[in-house]
Amino acid sequence: MTNDDWRATYHLPLITCHLPMPSTVCTILPTYNERDNIALLIDGVLENAITPHRVIVVDDNSPDGTGARVHDAAQRWNRPDAPPRVILHTRVDQKGLTSAIQCGIDLAVYTLGADIVTWMDCDLSMPPADLPRLVRAVEDGADLAIGSRWMAGGADVAHDWSARTLSRTINLFARTLIGPYTHDYTSGFVAGRAAVFKALRLRGGYGEYCIDLLARAGHAGYTLADVPYICVPRSAGESKTGANLGDYLSKGRHYVSTVWSVRRGQRASS
Ligand SMILES: Nc1nc2c(ncn2[C@@H]2O[C@H](COP(=O)(O)OP(=O)(O)O)[C@@H](O)[C@H]2O)c(=O)[nH]1
Ligand SMILES: [Mg+2]
């Protein structure tokens, strides 16, 4: 007997239930020498997940053995009868943060069919417990959600006064020149709809890619939502961009020139 036969025989009303399908989320974790952070981060992301959630680690063949730690985590999380939740993608012939994130996005969107893609640093400075709030913001209608330090509820307790002042100043400059699309153009803690990444590819170097992506997305009419979070100190290992005033000033110079070129691009296209 089919369902319809049962209904006809017992005069049952037809009840249709429209439950929203949960989004499938894929988090890209770009790593270079994050041996002592990566397993904790993978566990944190998957334990806090609010929807079907997978992790892709894009590791540039880290000499410290990060890949082996990911392999161990995959053994714990993956089941033979289900799609893998932890995927390790090792690159041997390419290096760099922007291309690593883009590589992960391509795998997530075009190979795994993810609805929402997120990424974050793998030093535990961006708490994985905050990730669901970014995912929720996208599920609630934003095209991109940005973990933001420079707004009410957000903060940076990882860096000293000079680095914080420089970051705030650059963000003020970016908001003034590019537009008030976000409070944290240099965030690097992002979640977004797959459709956005089908339309926009990452470009530019470390950190600059984030200014460039958020500016182009805002200018193209996508909805950006800021989600406050508190950036905490790196848990273990070393920063790849350096942590002294000279390093911050050098980063700042690249950020300022990116803001200028984005602004010029906006003017040329409008
Ligand atoms: N795959 C890959 N990841 C990188 C590379 N450089 C940095 N990362 C990762 O990018 C993230 C940000 O780097 P981090 O050292 O935290 O920079 P900071 O936040 O400026 O101090 C971390 O997860 C790094 O492991 C790279 O060349 N390739
Ligand atoms: Mg970091």
Residue 8, pLDDT score:
54
Confidence of residue 23 (pLDDT cuts 50, 70, 90): confident
Q: Using the Cα atoms of residue 153, residue 154, residue 158 and residue 161 in order, give the sign of their dihedral.
A: negative
Average pLDDT across the chain, whole number: 92
Weakest mean pLDDT among 25-29, 30-34, 259-263? 259-263
Average pLDDT over residues 109-127: 97
pLDDT value for 6 = 47
Ligand 1 atom showing the smallest separation from residue 242 Cα:
21
> What is the distance in A from the centroid of ligand 1 to the CA of 6?
59
In angstroms, the CA 115 to CA 134 distance is 14
For ligand 1, is residue 27 a contact (CB within 6 Å)? no
For the stretch 66-82, pLDDT in tens is 999 999 999 999 999 99
Ligand 1 atom with least separation from CA of 188: 12
* CATH assignment, 22-269: 3.90.550.10
Q: Taking the chain, what is the end-to-end CA distance rounded to the nearest angstrom? A: 63
32 Cβ closer than 6 Å to some ligand 1 atom? yes
**Atom 13 (ligand 1) nearest CA:** 240
Q: Which residues contact 11 (CB under 8 A, 6 or more apart)?
A: none
CB 137 within 8 A of CB 191: yes
Exposed, middle or buried, 221 (CB in 10 Å: 0-12/13-18/19+)? exposed
Asked if residue 13 has pLDDT above 70, the reply is: no
What count of other Cβ atoms lies within 10 Å of the Cβ of residue 70?
A: 27
Residue 10 parent element (H or E): helix 3-10
Q: What's the average model confidence in pLDDT over 180-187?
A: 97
Res 268: pLDDT? 83
CA-to-CA dists, residue 262 to 44, 122, 217, 224, 247, angstroms: 35, 28, 12, 17, 23
Q: Is the pLDDT at 1 greater than 50, yes or no? A: no
Q: For ligand 1, is residue 31 a contact (CB within 6 Å)?
A: yes
Residue list, CB under 5 A from ion ligand 2: 121, 123, 125
pLDDT classification of 20: cutoffs 50, 70, 90? low
CA pair distance 228, 234, nearest whole angstrom: 18
pLDDT band of residue 44 (cuts 50, 70, 90) is very high
The pLDDT of 154-181, averaged and rounded, is 95
Closest CA to 88 of 28, 37, 47: 28
The domain ranges of the chain are 22-269
Q: Does the pLDDT at position 14 exceed 60? A: no
pLDDT over 90 at 246, yes or no:
no
- Establish whether residue 239 lines the binding site of ligand 1, counting it when its CB lies within 6 angstroms of any ligand atom: yes
Report how far apart, in Å, the C-alpha atoms of 159 and of each of 17, 147, 174, 205, 208 are.
50, 16, 20, 21, 19
